[in-house]
């Protein structure tokens, strides 16, 4: 299939799916805009403006100023840019060192002198840090920040560095990474349920429930909009937009490794607490997060790839809960040598391809496959000090395997003032709720009101279920 036929196929497929996509929130790519004047202050129409960056697979994006001397270059990936202004009879004007982030419009104005095009005036200065083109309020978490901050990489945890953000449930506050992947937050009193999680502008809200978790190895940056959102937003709450890494014309990669265990943790269990019957402290059994990423060219300036792999999980001991020595009977005898513990693990493998089909057409496709498990799920008491304590066998494993997140987008730069864009994604979830391996089919669930404990087996139906959502 030649390139022209491929473009027609993708265009037809995208148009057919537009009702399902419902013109979802745009990917939030950045932009550069401004006005061009001469030394007398008069506006200059017809000036060619070129934005160049290693982040662009086509290397350069160009427009022409209008009759008011205004220009705007849109759909720019995050990265470092230089902007060049040229017009016959005037010296070339170049502005370098412009750092662009998602959903940010950098204002770059130019003043051109009479001269020859061969003469170049280069301006080095601070990159614009205030977006005067948009009214939205947002926090951009760059890749460098994601790597530097000592916190878990789950989306909900970034509330701790967003002004005005608070968790719906304070127990989701997590520094060490042992609280799982769920969690919602609001800003300035908003409902946590209004949190919207998006990948390249396409909504994927199952993440807030911890069902599908995103691979931080693939993140370029995260943008959290907290005010002034456009009408494209599905809710009035925070809009989290995950921007994925592209490849590039240079092969590069990264590795990361994090681990902790009980020997690296301190506790506050005192003799007085032990005398009152509390024999174990809340402690980490293990917490780990490791992975790697690699990206580069398949064909320079034409086809890029980026792949990311990540394995992470956490397990913690449950205070005051023990395995049952008498499992398989109607009785419960705590095994004080075996403290109950949960176990959550995640595995994700992601691939992204960027194809510059023609100078005007670009196709981006990505695919993520993920397996995860809450093994067991819900191994904590509910109800505060009067909570009914579950023994480990009374909770089922929730196994999510396999899960898929494919995404494809197409952009067509028709002219310097007309851009077409279409995108489609799907989220395929598979859940298997099953008894733990050491729990037999004839074991029954028992609630002991005297001991305030449930044990024996899981009372819920152990079934498989699947779901499919499309944006």
CB 423 within 8 A of CB 201: yes
Among 61-75, 181-195, 417-431, the range with the most confident prediction by mean pLDDT is 61-75
Task: Please give the residue that has the higher pLDDT: either 461 or 434.
Answer: 434
Does the global pTM surpass 0.75?
A: yes
Give a yes or no: residue 8 inside a domain: no
Residue 179 scores a pLDDT above 80: no
**Average pLDDT taken over every residue of the chain:** 81
354 and 470 co-located in one domain:
yes
309 and 431 co-located in one domain:
yes
**93-97, 215-219, 376-380, 446-450: range with lowest mean pLDDT:** 376-380
Pick the last residue of a domain from 223, 244, 265.
Answer: 244
pLDDT at 230: 72
Residue among 102, 420, 100 nearest 239 (CA): 102
Q: How confident is the model at residue 434 (pLDDT cuts 50, 70, 90)?
A: confident
Q: How confident is the model at residue 214 (pLDDT cuts 50, 70, 90)?
A: confident
pLDDT at 23: 32
Rounded Cα–Cα distance for residues 360 and 37 (Å) = 29
338 and 206 co-located in one domain:
no
**310-314, 378-382, 426-430, 442-446: range with lowest mean pLDDT:** 378-382
Residue found by looking up tokens 């199952």 in the block: 206
Give a yes or no: residue 9 inside a domain: no
Section 137-143 average pLDDT:
82
Residue 422 scores a pLDDT above 70: yes
CATH code for position 35 = 2.60.40.1120
Residue 363 scores a pLDDT above 80: yes
229 and 294 co-located in one domain:
no
**155-159, 223-227, 415-419, 440-444: range with lowest mean pLDDT:** 155-159
Pick the last residue of a domain from 97, 124, 151.
Answer: 124
Give a yes or no: residue 217 inside a domain: yes
Give a yes or no: residue 14 inside a domain: no
Residue 24 scores a pLDDT above 80: no
**11-20, 210-219, 299-308, 314-323: range with lowest mean pLDDT:** 11-20
69 and 168 co-located in one domain:
no
Give a yes or no: residue 4 inside a domain: no
234 and 118 co-located in one domain:
no
**9-23, 288-302, 358-372: range with lowest mean pLDDT:** 9-23
Q: How confident is the model at residue 42 (pLDDT cuts 50, 70, 90)?
A: very high
Give a yes or no: residue 95 inside a domain: yes
Task: Please give the residue that has the higher pLDDT: either 281 or 192.
Answer: 192
pLDDT at 264: 80
Pick the last residue of a domain from 218, 244, 270.
Answer: 244
Section 186-193 average pLDDT:
76
Rounded Cα–Cα distance for residues 91 and 184 (Å) = 53
Give a yes or no: residue 93 inside a domain: yes
What total number of domains does the chain contain?
Answer: 3
Per-residue pLDDT of 308-342, as tens digits, reads: 999 998 888 887 788 999 898 889 999 888 888 88
CB 43 within 8 A of CB 36: yes
Give a yes or no: residue 147 inside a domain: yes
Residue 11 scores a pLDDT above 60: no
Q: How confident is the model at residue 71 (pLDDT cuts 50, 70, 90)?
A: very high
398 and 471 co-located in one domain:
yes
Task: Please give the residue that has the higher pLDDT: either 246 or 265.
Answer: 246
362 and 290 co-located in one domain:
yes
pLDDT at 285: 86
189 and 75 co-located in one domain:
no
Task: Please give the residue that has the higher pLDDT: either 119 or 308.
Answer: 308
113 and 159 co-located in one domain:
no
**53-67, 370-384, 412-426: range with lowest mean pLDDT:** 370-384
Rounded Cα–Cα distance for residues 398 and 431 (Å) = 7
183 and 328 co-located in one domain:
no
Rounded Cα–Cα distance for residues 51 and 74 (Å) = 10
238 and 256 co-located in one domain:
no
Task: For residue 92, give its domain range.
Answer: 25-124
């Amino acid at each position: 299939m030649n390139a022209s036929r491929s473009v027609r196929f993708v265009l037809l497929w995208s148009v057919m799916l537009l009702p399902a996509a419902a013109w979802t929130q745009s990917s939030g790519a950045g932009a550069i805009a401004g006005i061009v004047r001469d030394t007398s202050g008069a506006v200059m129409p017809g000036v060619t403006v070129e934005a160049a960056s290693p982040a662009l697979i086509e290397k350069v994006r160009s427009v022409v100023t209008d009759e008011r001397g205004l220009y705007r270059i849109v759909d720019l990936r995050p990265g470092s840019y230089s902007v060049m202004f040229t017009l016959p009879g005037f010296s070339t004007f170049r502005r370098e060192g412009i750092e662009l982030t998602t959903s940010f419009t950098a204002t770059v104005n130019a003043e051109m002198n009479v001269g020859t095009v061969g003469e170049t005036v280069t301006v080095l200065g601070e990159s614009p840090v205030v977006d005067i083109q948009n009214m939205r309020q947002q926090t951009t978490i760059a890749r460098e920040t994601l790597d530097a901050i000592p916190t878990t990489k789950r989306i909900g945890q970034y509330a701790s560095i967003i002004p005005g953000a608070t968790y719906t449930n304070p127990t989701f506050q997590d520094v060490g990474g042992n609280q799982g992947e769920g969690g919602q937050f609001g800003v300035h009193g908003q409902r946590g349920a209004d949190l919207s999680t998006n990948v390249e502008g396409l909504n994927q809200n199952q993440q807030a429930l911890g069902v599908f978790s995103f691979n931080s190895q693939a993140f370029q940056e995260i943008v959290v909009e907290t005010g002034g959102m456009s009408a494209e937003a599905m809710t009035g709450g925070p809009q989290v937009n995950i921007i994925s890494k592209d490849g590039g014309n240079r092969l590069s990669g990264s590795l990361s490794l994090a681990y902790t265990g009980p020997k690296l943790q301190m506790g506050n269990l005192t003799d007085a607490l032990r005398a009152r019957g509390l024999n174990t402290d809340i402690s980490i059994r293990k917490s780990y997060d490791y992975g790697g990423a690699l990206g580069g060219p398949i064909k320079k300036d034409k086809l890029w790839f980026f792949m990311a792999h990540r394995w992470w999980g956490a397990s913690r001991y449950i205070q005051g809960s023990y395995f049952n020595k008498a499992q398989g009977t109607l009785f419960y005898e705590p095994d004080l040598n075996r403290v109950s513990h949960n176990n959550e693990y995640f595995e994700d493998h992601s691939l992204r391809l960027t194809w510059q089909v023609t100078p005007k057409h670009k196709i981006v496709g990505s695919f993520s496959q993920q397996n995860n498990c809450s093994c067991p799920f819900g191994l904590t008491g509910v109800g505060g000090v009067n909570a009914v304590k579950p023994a480990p066998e009374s909770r089922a494993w929730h196994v999510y395997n396999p899960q898929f997140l494919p995404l494809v987008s197409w952009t067509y730069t028709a002219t310097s003032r007309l851009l077409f864009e279409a995108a489609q994604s799907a989220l395929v979830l598979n859940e298997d709720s099953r008894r733990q391996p050491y729990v037999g089919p004839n074991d029954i669930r028992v609630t002991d009101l005297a001991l305030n404990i449930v044990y024996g087996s899981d009372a819920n139906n152990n079934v498989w279920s699947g779901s499919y959502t499309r944006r």
